[in-house]
Amino acid sequence: MADSTRVRFAPSPTGLLHIGGLRTALYNYLFTKHHGGAFIVRIEDTDQSRYVEEAEQDILDSLKWAGLNWDEGPGTESQYGPYRQSERSELYQKYADQLIADGYAYYAFDTSEEIEEMRERLKKSGNPSPKYDSITRQSMKNSLTLPQDEVKRRLDAGEEYIVRLKVPRKETVRFTDIIRGVVSFDTQGLDDQVLIKSDGLPTYHMANVVDDHEMGITHVIRGEEWLSSAPKHMLLYKYLGWDAPAMAHLPLIMSPSGGKLSKRKAEQEGIPINVRDYVQQDYEPEAVINFLTYLGWGPGDDREVMSLEEMIKEFSLERVSKAGAVFNFKKLTWYNEHYMREKSDEELLPRIKKVAEREGYTASDDYLKTILSLMRDRVSRVPEVIELGRYFFEAPAEYDEKSKKKAWKEQTPALVQKYLDEIQSLSRDEFKAAPLKEKLSAVIEAEGVGFGKLMLPVRVAVTGMGFGPDLFETMELIGKQETEQRIADAISKLS
């Protein structure tokens, strides 16, 4: 495929971009970049009732955060723009007129009460899911049943109308989906899809097809939930006399406990659902991207970590799985740890600093850098360097219950006191990890007890917890006065 590949990510601005939406954007991006093509962002904002003011900005910000820069979209100018459907209304009207003139669509004047009546009537006569279709349209008020002069009179008088697609009674719509193979639908199950609403704006189906054609889209890559819309789109392409783009419907994203990963499910399972959550929790964008790439795709070998360039090189729709892809949060955490560890101190320091400030802690860059070096391999996300290391900034307000029980026995206060006496003899300059460790070894040898018998209580005293980075380096960093104070406090509080 030459330079001509054109794909689009076409979100509706009805809410914050969720993680599944980002995967759709990513697969579009990887596919088109693999073929040297263009990545287009189109905002599908024709449903005014579901419009959310901040959504568009959030979607664009999220794509930028993830590094998915678009070649065309809101804010760029080209022969294909504008890229917001609300700015393209005339186009949809023009093609709706063409469909009506060619006998593939019609005006419908029915009020919502009349449609409701029709439904009730059919339900009573045993039709469980009545539709406005090839049968019922014949008894409704539309340009197929009303005399032509009456239709003209109503239109001239400015009466409200909608435009509906004239879906054929019995036809099989067949197309080949790159991921799913041959897909076929029977038109009998379809209703006469509304194309233009009474507010004059197009529905998703109409605008989507017109824009994919007008923008020269070669491949439609979107979530499986749109598969059932595809036959309507195929009819529209046919009736408008256009070739349909190639289609690829991506597998659903499943929750670890089964079923589609809905907002509610995600919440229950502690999985952040909006891209904004990942930004706020300071995830590494490379980790999220690497994780999402593997959510429904794989290179076919045992590589797990790949740069964006590598993923572009390897990506193909043929390798996307049909089956739902389970969102494994542990895996995402693993990726995040990986990418975080790859970054230099210089890169991470400003971010650590921001978290520290947010938490109300002030410390020098050197102090923060030492914390980072102690904590780096023990945390999953950048903010945890601070959140799990509060004892670097303040004395523990309380002691972890389990560790306390495990560490603090009858003979412990006397033992810890001996250690405290020992380290008090060290000068401020001597208060370093190595001598602090030697002193501890000396005490346990003299007392004939195991290392842990003293090490654990001291750790609990200094940090409030039973685990953490190297204790002696931690003590060195916290400093002589503060460390000794904490140990003395623990002896009196815990005895």
Q: What are phi and psi of 298, to 5 degrees?
A: -160, 155
Q: What gap in Å lies between CA 281 and CA 124, rounded to an integer?
A: 54
> Of 236, 246, 235, whose CA–CA distance to 92 is shortest?
236
Strand 246-250 versus strand 219-223 pairing type: parallel
Structural tokens at position 440: 């501890």
Q: Which stretch binds ligand GLU (CB under 6 A): 5-13, 343-351, 356-364, 433-441?
A: 5-13
Amino acid letter, residue 121: R
Between the two ends of the chain, the Cα-to-Cα distance in Å is 76
Nearest distance from residue 12's CB to ligand GLU, in Å?
Answer: 4
Q: Which stretch binds ligand GLU (CB under 6 A): 4-12, 50-58, 164-172, 316-324?
A: 4-12
> Of 36, 29, 30, whose CA–CA distance to 73 is shortest?
29
What number of chain residues touch ligand GLU (CB under 6 A)?
Answer: 8
Choosing from 10, 17, 55, 374, the residue that interacts with ligand GLU (CB under 6 A) is 10
Choosing from 6, 11, 166, 475, the residue that interacts with ligand GLU (CB under 6 A) is 11
Contact 30, 293 (CB under 8 A): yes
Q: Does 175 bind ligand GLU (CB under 6 A)?
A: no
Coil, strand, or helix at residue 196?
strand
Closer residue to ligand GLU, CB minimum distance, 152 or 260:
260
Q: Does 222 bind ligand GLU (CB under 6 A)?
A: yes
Q: Does 47 bind ligand GLU (CB under 6 A)?
A: no
Closer residue to ligand GLU, CB minimum distance, 25 or 105:
25
Nearest distance from residue 7's CB to ligand GLU, in Å?
Answer: 10
Q: Please name the residues in contact with 207: beta carbons below 8 A apart, sequence gap of 6 or more.
A: 44, 46, 85, 88, 92
Closer residue to ligand GLU, CB minimum distance, 39 or 399:
39
Closer residue to ligand GLU, CB minimum distance, 136 or 208:
208
H-state helical runs in 359-426 = 365-375, 384-387, 401-407, 412-424
Nearest distance from residue 11's CB to ligand GLU, in Å?
Answer: 5
Coil, strand, or helix at residue 458?
helix
Q: What are phi and psi of 8, to 5 degrees?
A: -135, 145
Closer residue to ligand GLU, CB minimum distance, 88 or 222:
222
- DSSP per residue over 329-358, as a string? HHHHHHHHHHHHHHS-HHHHHHHHHHHHHH
Closer residue to ligand GLU, CB minimum distance, 50 or 313:
50
Closer residue to ligand GLU, CB minimum distance, 10 or 375:
10
Nearest distance from residue 72's CB to ligand GLU, in Å?
Answer: 16
Q: Does 208 bind ligand GLU (CB under 6 A)?
A: yes
Q: Please name the residues in contact with 472: beta carbons below 8 A apart, sequence gap of 6 or more.
A: 433, 434, 436, 437, 440
> Of 397, 389, 339, whose CA–CA distance to 369 is shortest?
389
Choosing from 12, 143, 336, 474, the residue that interacts with ligand GLU (CB under 6 A) is 12
Nearest distance from residue 20's CB to ligand GLU, in Å?
Answer: 10
DSSP, res 243: P
Choosing from 51, 65, 226, 329, the residue that interacts with ligand GLU (CB under 6 A) is 226
Q: What is the contact mask toward ligand GLU in residues 256 to 285, using x (rule: CB under 6 A)?
A: ------------------------------
Nearest distance from residue 380's CB to ligand GLU, in Å?
Answer: 31
Contact 199, 174 (CB under 8 A): no
Q: Does 44 bind ligand GLU (CB under 6 A)?
A: yes
Active site residues: 263
Closer residue to ligand GLU, CB minimum distance, 44 or 177:
44
Nearest distance from residue 181's CB to ligand GLU, in Å?
Answer: 20
Centre a 10 Å sphere on the Cβ of residue 30 and count the other Cβ atoms it contains.
25
Centre a 10 Å sphere on the Cβ of residue 56 and count the other Cβ atoms it contains.
19
Binders of ligand GLU in range 303-332 (CB under 6 A): none
Nearest distance from residue 198's CB to ligand GLU, in Å?
Answer: 21
- Binding residues for ligand GLU, rule: CB under 6 A, are 10-12, 44, 204, 208, 222, 226
